[in-house]
Amino acid sequence: MSDAPFTPVLAGYAAGSEQPAPVTPKNVPYHGGPTNPSAGALKARFGDAIVRVDVVWGETTVIVDRARVNEIVRWLHDDPQQRYDYCSDITAVEFRDLERPIEVVWHLRSIPFRRFLRLKTLLPKGQPLAVPSVYDIYRGADWLERECYDMFGIRFEGHPDLRRLLMWEQYKEGFPLRKDFPMRGRFSRSEQLRQALAQNPETRYSMEELSIAEAFEDLPADMRQRLGGGEKVGE
């Protein structure tokens, strides 16, 4: 056990004692308003990798180059003047307009500076739906990225254990939050029920989680090989 005293993280402490106390904003314009200072710092640091900055309802959104997502998030996390130490959400947005790209969204918060920043990157239709993972920066991104993959089919390159989270691994109907997904599913109700009942509820995803030895034999061959090789899953 460490003898060092526990120091709580107080919201806003890094901004200095001269900062005004936070208040609920009023009469916030739809477009415009003050920009999160991190947006200017990102432009100065990454140049052309910052595609656009928008301020909507008082919240700053920075659209960034897909290839540099991990580098940008790493800097926001590590730089002492940014300190975005909390990734609260990772999700995606698809529009019915077929010409509009899919947006992948990260919600980042700097507790020490009391800042919120929304990052986005754009994935044009017809191109691979893949972005860099930020799991190596925020371990809490593990299940957030898996859910986004499960619902939208977006692959997070570098994630150590990218697999479905809400649907079972052998789910064959696609990605339920995509706009081309039928509201009743791709299969008939009877086929959906048959597939659901065919799943083994005792099946787990790591040797420690297997409740009975026979469940391991019910896993697909590729999963048995992965688990048998001792590969560690994400936290």
| Per-residue confidence band for 203, with pLDDT thresholds at 50, 70 and 90 | low
pLDDT, residue 230, reads 57
Alpha-carbon span 77 to 16, nearest angstrom: 19
17: tokens are 């004692």
Tens-place pLDDT, residues 114-124: 999 999 999 99
Q: Strand 59-64 to strand 115-123: parallel, antiparallel, or no bridges (unpaired)?
A: parallel
Query: pTM of whole model > 0.95?
Result: no
161: tokens are 């254990």
Phi and psi angles of residue 40, each rounded to the nearest 5 degrees, phi first: -65, -40
- Decide if pLDDT at 192 tops 70: no
| Per-residue confidence band for 211, with pLDDT thresholds at 50, 70 and 90 | very low
Alpha-carbon span 171 to 87, nearest angstrom: 28
Tens-place pLDDT, residues 22-81: 888 889 999 988 999 999 999 999 999 999 999 999 999 999 999 999 999 999 999 999
- Of 98 and 225, the one with more pLDDT: 98
Identity of the amino acid at 134: V
28: tokens are 């916030």
Q: Which long-range contacts does 150-153 make (Cβ < 8 Å, 24+ apart)?
A: 150/175, 151/92, 151/175, 151/176, 151/177, 152/92, 152/94, 152/102, 152/177, 152/178, 153/129, 153/178
Alpha-carbon span 9 to 213, nearest angstrom: 45
Which SS3 state, helix, strand or coil, does residue 47 take? helix
In the chain, how long is the greatest CA-to-CA distance? 65
Alpha-carbon span 229 to 207, nearest angstrom: 11
Q: Strand 155-157 to strand 130-132: parallel, antiparallel, or no bridges (unpaired)?
A: parallel
Of the candidates 184, 186, 178, which has an alpha carbon nearest to the alpha carbon of residue 148? 178
Question: What topology is assigned to 9-18+25-166 in CATH?
Answer: Beta Polymerase; domain 2 (3.30.460)
Alpha-carbon span 203 to 51, nearest angstrom: 44
Cβ atoms of 76 and 68 within 8 Å: the answer is no
Cβ atoms of 140 and 87 within 8 Å: the answer is yes
Tens-place pLDDT, residues 85-97: 999 999 999 998 8
Of the candidates 115, 145, 129, 96, which has an alpha carbon nearest to the alpha carbon of residue 38? 115
